[in-house]
Amino acid sequence: MWRTHNCGELRLEKVGEQVKLSGWVQRIRDKGSLLWIDLRDRYGTTQLFIEGTSASAELLEIVRSLGREYVIQVSGQVIERISKNPKMATGDIEIKAEEIKILNTSKVPPFTIEDDTDGGEELRMKYRYIDLRRNPVKNSIILRHQMMQYTREYLAGHDFLEIETPVLIKSTPEGARDFVVPSRMNPGEFYALPQSPQTFKQLLMVSGFDKYFQLVKCFRDEDLRADRQPEFTQIDCEMSFVTRDEILAAFEGLTKHVFRKARGVELEDFPLMAYDEAMRRYGSDKPDTRFGMEFIELNELAQGKGFNVFDQSELVAGICAPGCADYTRKQIDGLTEWVKRPQIGAKGLVYVKCNEDGTFKSSVDKFYTQEDLKNWADKAAARPGDLLLVLSGTIAETRKALNELRLYMGNELGLRSNDVFKPLWIVDFPLLEWDEETSRYHAMHHPFTSPREEDMHLLSTDPGKVKANAYDLVINGVEIGGGSIRIFDRQIQQSMFDALGFTKEEAEKQFGFLLNAFEYGAPPHGGIAFGFDRLCSMIGGTESIRDFIAFPKNNSGRDMMIDTPSQISTEQLEELSIFVKKPTE
C-alpha cells in the first residue's frame, strides 16, 4: 500500500494511529536536533517530524538527502503538535516519522511551488505540470471540474441529452478562420475543426432529440488576446419547440445553479435589455452594469452655441463621474491623453466641473454660459462635486470611446468589484452588419439565426434594419454566452444566404446538408452556447482564462510545454499530398 491517508485529512482524533503517507517534499526545516518536512499532495499538506536524538542514523541520512519536490513515502505515528498552526487544515497534528522511503528524486524545480511563485509566465507554461502543483492553479482546475459536474447535473436533470458531435468536420461560419486537417485518404482535401457544433446540433433537432447539450472543444484560428485561446470549451445547447423566453429561463437557471454551487452566490433575476438601448446607455453590447455612469446625450443642449466641434458631431455624449470635480489639471490632462490613444480614438475631451458652490468650470467656458452648463448637469443628474466628461464625433466613434472611458473611470473609482455579479440578457441584436471592406452584409451572430417574426418582411427590402431573434448573456461586462432562435424553413434560410451574398451554388455546396434536412420535418428550434473557460474565470474571480485550462496555449497560440505548432517530416507531408516549396539558396 502506498498510503493509508492523504496529506489533507488527518486531524486530532487520529492521534496515536500508525499511518502511511505519500507525497511531494514541499519544505524542509533542519534545526539540527529537530527536523520538519512539509509533505504535500493534491489534498493538502501534512507536517512530518523527526527527532534528531531518537531517530536512527539511517533515517537521518535519508532525511538529510531530501530535496524539494522529491516524492517520498513516510510511515509513522500521528501525534499532537505542541505549537499548532490554525492556518493549516492539518495544523493540529504532525507525523512522527519512523521510516521514509524515497520513491523518486527531483531536480530543483525551475520556480518555487508557492502561491506567490517567482516563476515568470513563459517559464511556468513550459513546466506547466509543475505549475499545476501550486495551490492557486490546482484549485482553479478543481473548480473547473466542479463546474462541469454542476452543469451536467443541472442540464441532465432538465432532460437534456449529452451527445457528442464530430471534431473532423467541414467549415462552419462563426466568423473566425478554421483550423484545417489534411486528409491522407482524400488527397488535396481537408477537414475543418469545428468553430462550434452549430450545424450538428441543429441536425440533432431535426432528428428529434429535443434537448441537447455538450461540453465541447471548439477551435477558432483568430488573433489571440489575453482572454482567448485557439481551442476553448463551450457549454453548447439546443432545444426544439421552444420560445426565446423559455431558452433564457432555462439558461438563467443553469447560470444561477452554477453560481450557487460553485461560488455560494445567489444571483438576482436577469433583466433584459435591447441591443439598441444598451448601445445608447452604455455604448456597448456587453455593458458592465455593476455601476451607473450611464451615457447622457447632449446634442440638443450642446449644439448650436457656436462650438464647432460639437456642432459638426453626430453625437455629443458624456458621463458623470461622481465626486471627481476636484480632479487636478494634471489628472484631466491624463484622461485627455488616455482617450486620445489610438485604441480609444477620441479627438479630445471636454470636462465640466460641478463646483460645490453651484457654479461650473469647463474647458468650453468660451462657448457656454453657466446656465448652459447647468442644463447639462441637470440632464446628467449631476450633483455638486461631480465631473462631467464629454466626447463627440460620429455615433459609433463616440460610443466606443465613451464606453472605454466609462469602464476606465469605473476602475478608477473602484466600482468594478470581483465579488459583485450583475448579469443581464442583451436581446434584439441586428441580424446583419455591413462590412465596409468586402461591401457586403455579414451575419452578426451566424447565418442560421432567425430574423424576428415582425421584421421578416424587411429581409429582402431593407436587410440592415432587420433585428434578430438573438440574445447574449453578459455578466459584469463580459460576454458569457450567446444564441438565437434558428431559421428552420428552407426558403427563409435560402433568402438569408441571399442577403449574405452567397450564390445558390455556394450555399448548396457549403450548407446543402442543412438545407436538405430542413425539407424532412425540421422542428422550430433555438439554442445557446456559453464560453465555459470564461465562466470559470469569472466564478474563480480572476481575469485570466488560462488558469482554468490544464494545458493552455500562449498568446501566439503555442503550447510552450510540448513546443508546438512544429514541423512535420517530409514523409508525413508527402503522405498528406502537401508539397511545400523548399526555400531556394
Positions that interact with ligand ASP (CB under 6 A): 174, 196, 198, 482-484, 527-529
Exposure b/e, 339-373, CB count within 10 A at least 16 = b: beeeebebeebbbbbbeeeeebebebeebbeeebb
Shortest reach from residue 195's CB to ligand ASP, in Å: 7
CA 579 to chain centre: 38
**Closer to ligand ASP by Cβ: residue 295 or 488:** 488
Task: Match 449644439 to its residue by C-alpha cell.
Answer: 303
Element containing residue 45 per DSSP (H, E): strand 44-51
Q: Which is nearer to ligand ASP, 219 or 441 (CB)?
A: 219
533 within 8 A of 548, measured Cβ to Cβ = yes
Closest by CA position to 218, among listed 198, 200, 234: 234
Closer residue to ligand ASP, CB minimum distance, 320 or 424: 424
Cβ nearer to ligand ASP, comparing 247 with 373: 247
DSSP classification of residue 520: T
> Smallest distance from the beta carbon of 275 to ligand ASP, in angstroms?
16
Q: In angstroms, how far is the first alpha carbon of the chain from the final one?
A: 63
Amino acid identity at 520: Y
Cell 430542413: give the residue.
518
Q: Whose Cβ is closer to ligand ASP: residue 423's or residue 531's?
A: 531
Judged by beta carbon, residue 173 or residue 423, the one nearer ligand ASP is: 173
Q: How far is the CB of 433 from ligand ASP (least distance, A)?
A: 15
Give 187's contacts (C-beta < 8 A, 6+ positions apart): 576, 577
CB of 241 to ligand ASP, least distance (A): 17
Question: Between 140 and 199, whose beta carbon lies closer to ligand ASP?
Answer: 199
Residue appearing with cell numbers 494545458: 551
From the CB of 529, what's the least distance to ligand ASP, in Å?
4
Contact 547, 539 (CB under 8 A): no
* CB-nearer residue toward ligand ASP: 39 or 443: 443
How near is the Cβ of 258 to ligand ASP at its closest, in Å? 18
In whole angstroms, the minimum distance from the beta carbon of 175 to ligand ASP comes to: 9
Shortest distance, CB of residue 340 to ligand ASP, whole angstroms?
A: 34
Q: Are 3 and 21 spatial neighbours (Cβ–Cβ below 8 Å)?
A: yes
Nearer CB in complex with ligand ASP: 216/302: 216
CB of 272 vs ligand ASP, minimal distance in Å:
18
- Radius of gyration in angstroms for the set of CA atoms belonging to the chain, rounded to a whole number: 30
Three-state SS annotation for 384-451 = CCCEEEEEEECHHHHHHHHHHHHHHHHHHCCCCCCCCCCEEEEECCECEEEECCCCEEEECCCCCECE
Question: Measured from the CB of residue 196, what is the shortest distance to ligand ASP in angstroms?
Answer: 3
Cis peptide before 166, with omega less than 30 degrees from 0? no
- Sign of dihedral through CA atoms 401, 406, 411, 416? negative
Q: Single out the residue of 463, 454, 455 nearest to residue 432, CA to CA.
A: 463
Q: In whole angstroms, how close is the CB of 484 to ligand ASP at the nearest point?
A: 5
**Minimum gap (Å) between residue 535 Cβ and ligand ASP:** 14
Count of other CB atoms within 10 angstroms of residue 485: 24
In sequence order, what are the residues at sequence separation of 6 or more whose Cβ sits closer than 8 angstroms to the Cβ of residue 475? 255, 421, 422, 423, 424, 538
Distance CA 376, CA 327 (A): 19
Q: How far is the CB of 539 from ligand ASP (least distance, A)?
A: 20
Q: How far is CA 234 from the centre of its chain?
A: 11
Q: Please give the grid coordinates belonging to residue 377.
A: 448637469
Pick 410 or 483: Cβ nearer ligand ASP: 483
Q: CB neighbours of 406 closer than 8 A, spacing ≥ 6?
A: 282, 283, 293, 295, 319
C-alpha cell at 338: 488616455
Looking at beta carbons only, is 321 or 535 nearer to ligand ASP?
535
Reading the block at residue 141, the C-alpha cell is 482546475
Of 155 and 529, the one with the shorter C-beta distance to ligand ASP is 529
Specify the long-range contacts of residues 124-131, CB closer than 8 Å, at least 24 apart: 125/552, 125/554, 125/560, 125/561, 126/560, 126/561, 127/561, 128/550, 128/551, 128/552, 128/560, 128/561, 129/561, 130/69
Q: Would you say 95 or 487 has its CB closer to ligand ASP?
A: 487
How buried is residue 147: exposed, middle or buried, by Cβ count under 10 Å (0-12/13-18/19+)? buried
- Shortest reach from residue 365's CB to ligand ASP, in Å: 49
- Supply the minimum distance, in Å, between the C-beta of residue 482 and ligand ASP: 5
The DSSP output letter for 374 is H
Distance CA 240, CA 212 (A): 9
